[in-house]
Amino acid sequence: MSSTPPAHLHLAVALDGTGWHPASWREPAARPRDLFTAGYWADLVAEAERGLLDFVTLEDGLGPQSDQLLVPDERTDRVRGRLDAVLVASRIAPLTRHIGLVPTVVATHTEPFHISKAIATLDYVSTGRAGLRVQITARPDEAAHFGRRTVPRVTGFDSPGAQELVSVLFDEAADHVEVVRRLWDSWEDDAEIRDAATGRFIDRDKLHYIDFEGRFFHVKGPSITPRPPQGQPLVTALAHQTVPYRLVARQADVGYVTPHDTAQASAIVTEIRAEQEAAGRAEETLHVFGDLVVLLDDSQAEAEDRLGRLDALAGEPYTSDARVFAGTAAQLADLLEELAGGGLSGFRLRPAVAGHDLPRISRELVPELQRRHRFRDAYEAGTLRGHLGLARPANRYAAATA
């Protein structure tokens, strides 16, 4: 009697500065002097592509990084400042062939028309490997950069006022993504005729107004960018509780969650699936990835010692929303298989020190998972949606017209 082989896991890497540990920039492998160069990011993404990873995400924000949740800090011993994630992804795209590129966009202060055009352009530049990670911000100092709205100051997310604010911001993010998705569809796939002999470049009947009228946005459309190669580039979001789980269920292709054990993973997946059904998307593929911060070395003792050294440099123990793993690639493979038993279809790994831990992921973890028949041996699709087993969706307006 033959048994069904275990499913392949999906793997992504989250890139943030020199790594996710706040003292990562002080490690020998960190290259902090190169942080604001294209070559630095190109090297990291090339390493991830070497490991056949599905995609990388690129962190971004609208204010300086801060150790405080909702306010800026005055620390000078941390990496501060970023390059624009969408522009970095566009610069890297021609240097890569297979890996998906998923920059972070902040819906709270960014117009969906601009984002739809930027990610559609990235999809063209990368020939079908673009996505976005939608994020909100509740920081008053970031709102002050734009001057179009005020965000009330809250001291934490536990108070009723903070919960109400977060609910509004996530509802806005859901509408933001809905507008972006409709704009991607506002050109039918064959709207461009490009017939020099007849002088017809486009078929105007195949460009559609989206006429979105909602609580937060009023957008007529159509886009000025033709429909992206993937039709709908990948939409992803990080979620920690019911309100953002609902955003994932309503609008995302991939949701990132932060379980610390298999039971918690199972409970989160169950909740997201219930929200997915309530949103009328039960038949659609929605991947749920577990996030982990990883420190990989030749032995668990070495990894734990390195974490201790980094903590000492930082002046305090490192804490994260995600589980922090310190050990070997084989031990991490064991943990990923265990957590996958909770219903996760993949993982987004956050290298504690990008220059050290990313090569360990691509050169040690991936071969270990391949030996276990839990990861691909080669790229098998030409698009990011293809890597994840997602079909190219039909255009909603073309279908309605038909």
Which residues contact residue 166 at a Cβ distance below 8 angstroms, ignoring those fewer than 6 apart? 136, 138, 157, 243
Domain tally, the chain: 1
Residue 95 structural domain: 10-401
pLDDT at residue 399 in the model: 67
Return d(Cα 203, Cα 226) in angstroms, integer.
Answer: 12
For residue 96, is it within any domain? yes
pLDDT at residue 2 in the model: 47
For residue 315, is it within any domain? yes
CB 384 within 8 A of CB 233: yes
- Dmax over CA atoms of the chain, in Å, equals 72
Q: What is the CATH number of the domain that holds 241?
A: 3.20.20.30
For residue 46, is it within any domain? yes
pLDDT at residue 397 in the model: 94
For residue 173, is it within any domain? yes
* CA distances, 396 to each of 114, 140, 232, 275, 283 (Å): 21, 37, 11, 23, 17
pLDDT at residue 151 in the model: 81
pLDDT at residue 139 in the model: 85
pLDDT at residue 401 in the model: 66
For residue 3, is it within any domain? no
CB 193 within 8 A of CB 187: no
Instruction: Give the sign of the dihedral formed by CA 25, CA 31, CA 34, CA 37.
Output: negative
User: pLDDT tens, position by position, for the chain (402 residues)?
Assistant: 446 778 899 999 999 999 999 999 999 999 999 999 999 999 999 999 999 999 999 999 998 888 887 788 888 899 999 999 999 999 999 999 999 999 999 999 999 999 999 999 999 999 999 999 999 998 888 888 888 888 888 766 677 777 888 899 999 999 999 999 999 999 999 999 998 999 989 999 999 999 999 999 999 999 999 999 999 999 999 999 999 999 999 999 999 999 999 999 999 999 999 999 999 999 999 999 999 999 999 999 999 999 999 999 999 999 999 999 999 999 999 999 999 999 999 999 999 999 999 999 999 999 999 999 999 999 999 999 999 999 999 999 996 766
Chain-centroid distance, C-alpha 304: 28
pTM: 0.95
Return d(Cα 337, Cα 344) in angstroms, integer.
Answer: 9
Which residues contact residue 40 at a Cβ distance below 8 angstroms, ignoring those fewer than 6 apart? 31, 34
CB 39 within 8 A of CB 93: no
262 labelled ligand-binding = no
**Residue length of the chain:** 402
104 labelled ligand-binding = yes
